[in-house]
Amino acid sequence: MEKIKVQNLTKIYGHNTDKALQMVHNGSSNQEIREKTKQVVGVRDASFAVEQGECFVIMGLSGSGKSSLLRCINRLIKATEGQILIDGEDVNQMSSQRLEKLRQEKMAMVFQRFALLPHRTILDNIAYGLEVQGVQRPVRLEKASQALELVGLKGWEDSYPDSLSGGMQQRVGIARALATDPDILLMDEPFSALDPLIRQDMQDELLDIQQKLQKTILFVTHDLDEALKVGDRIALMKDARIVQIGNPEEILLSPASDYVARFVENVNRSRALTASAVMVKPRAVAHPKDGPLTALTFMERHGLSTIFVTDRSGRLQGYVQAEDASDLVDKGIRELDGIIQHDMPTAAPDTMLADILDTLAYCKVPVAVIDEQSKLKGVLVRGSVIAGLAGERRGSHE
């Protein structure tokens, strides 16, 4: 179900937007529009939809319009043109009372610099959203302490924000956003102000929380590694436009433009690429009924020293080594069963490369990629993995 649907959203900053809008329609560049009308284009013609329970990342460098776009969603900034539908209701057309209600109940925001109120205790900070809704004090403090527990800060209820570290302050920011149990979380570079190590912890924690609560998240960042890690899908922005929307692998493997390609060049691919993205088709497989000679022939023909064995429905049984097979042939035994090795490394198609690099480095046998029914989907050989990490496009080598 589509939770958020944005259609042809354009935001122009300035007092006299008509002419600038006309120029946007005619396809003039941002530069031209600024020179001719003194108006600045923040977002131009953005369209996307976010599914219920999805984490949608808006990513771009500073000035690319990502924060403007996020703020149009809850109308902190009013879009100049276009539709923002939340559950089918257009945010841009709402009365201010309706808008207040929507902000109170359906969405909450997490800020880059945490935005905690310095004159309130942690618990009262978290309870802010509930307080605005008019929830009675005992009830809202109860809910606030539940949210505080969720982010692992129990015991800090009565402290003030300035006694907390950055990471802890942002946990409070997240707890505050969760306390009202909104459907949608708007996160504006929530981890950018944190140290790298704490940033990674927070990303992991966000993923944990997301697994439990299944919120619809709109997450803005300038860090591609972060985008790839937390995003189900990513929209890349440049010069106020969305230049590509796709899941992390699509962005990495088939960048839509040189800009995106340059962007993804320096990313740590092992954290974004999954086994299925770099695996190759097994060049040959043997079946248990095949005799050792058949297996040996396959191996010779394809220049392999081992071969995977699957049953008729493609389920992986194990592998056979060339020496063992040739021993069997010498002894005149017809069945492979005795020499199939069952102990071997495997990976699921969605395993991150980062998690199997060690195995790949020390294991002599290729790593088999199998699905839940243990069907053989592909194999990871060092060459294809290294090529994937180095960023070569898939397809050019197969």
Total binding residues toward another protein, as defined by CB under 8 A: 27
Residues 134-173, mask of contacts with another protein (x by CB under 8 A): ----------------------------------------
Among residues 189 and 290, whose Cβ is nearest to another protein? 189
Q: Which residue from 47, 104, 146, 276 is in contact with another protein, where contact means CB under 8 A?
A: 104
Rounded to the nearest 10 degrees, how much is the dihedral formed by the CA atoms of 24, 30, 35, 36? -10
Token couple for 205: 């924690």
Candidate segments 55-63, 104-112, 313-321, 369-377, binder of another protein by CB under 8 A: 104-112
Least Å from the CB of residue 113 to another protein: 5
Least Å from the CB of residue 385 to another protein: 44
Asked if 100 touches another protein (CB under 8 A), the answer is: yes
d(CA 321, CA 323): 6
Count of residues making up the chain: 398
Residues 110-139, mask of contacts with another protein (x by CB under 8 A): -xxx-x-xxx--------xx-xxx------
d(CA 216, CA 202): 18
Is 297 exposed, middle or buried, given 0-12, 13-18 or 19+ CB atoms closer than 10 A? middle
Candidate segments 99-107, 140-148, 233-241, 381-389, binder of another protein by CB under 8 A: 99-107
Asked if 344 touches another protein (CB under 8 A), the answer is: no
Distant-in-sequence contacts of 204-213, Cβ < 8 A, 24+ apart? 205/151, 205/152, 205/171, 206/174, 206/230, 209/150, 209/151, 209/174, 209/178, 210/55, 213/178
Token couple for 107: 């969405």
Phi, psi of 335 (to 5 degrees): -100, 145
Binding residues among 168-197 for another protein as defined by CB under 8 A: 180, 186
Beta bridge partners of residue 221, listed in sequence order: 59
Q: Which residue from 9, 109, 174, 356 is in contact with another protein, where contact means CB under 8 A?
A: 109
Candidate segments 19-27, 100-108, 259-267, 312-320, binder of another protein by CB under 8 A: 100-108
Least Å from the CB of residue 126 to another protein: 11
Least Å from the CB of residue 75 to another protein: 9
The H-or-E segment that residue 212 falls in is helix 196-213
Among residues 170 and 274, whose Cβ is nearest to another protein? 170
Distant-in-sequence contacts of 321-326, Cβ < 8 A, 24+ apart? 322/296, 325/292, 325/293, 325/295, 325/296, 325/299, 326/292, 326/296
Asked if 378 touches another protein (CB under 8 A), the answer is: no
Least Å from the CB of residue 162 to another protein: 11
Asked if 105 touches another protein (CB under 8 A), the answer is: yes
CA distances in angstroms from 274 to 236, 300, 347, 354, listed in the order given: 20, 30, 10, 9
Residues 52-91, mask of contacts with another protein (x by CB under 8 A): -------------------x--x-x---------------
Q: Which residues contact 250 (CB under 8 A, 6 or more apart)?
A: none
Among residues 60 and 129, whose Cβ is nearest to another protein? 129
Other CB atoms within 10 Å distance of the CB of residue 291:
16
Q: Which residue from 102, 174, 218, 309 is in contact with another protein, where contact means CB under 8 A?
A: 102
- Site residues (vs another protein, CB under 8 A): 71, 74, 76, 99-105, 107-109, 111-113, 115, 117-119, 128-129, 131-133, 180, 186
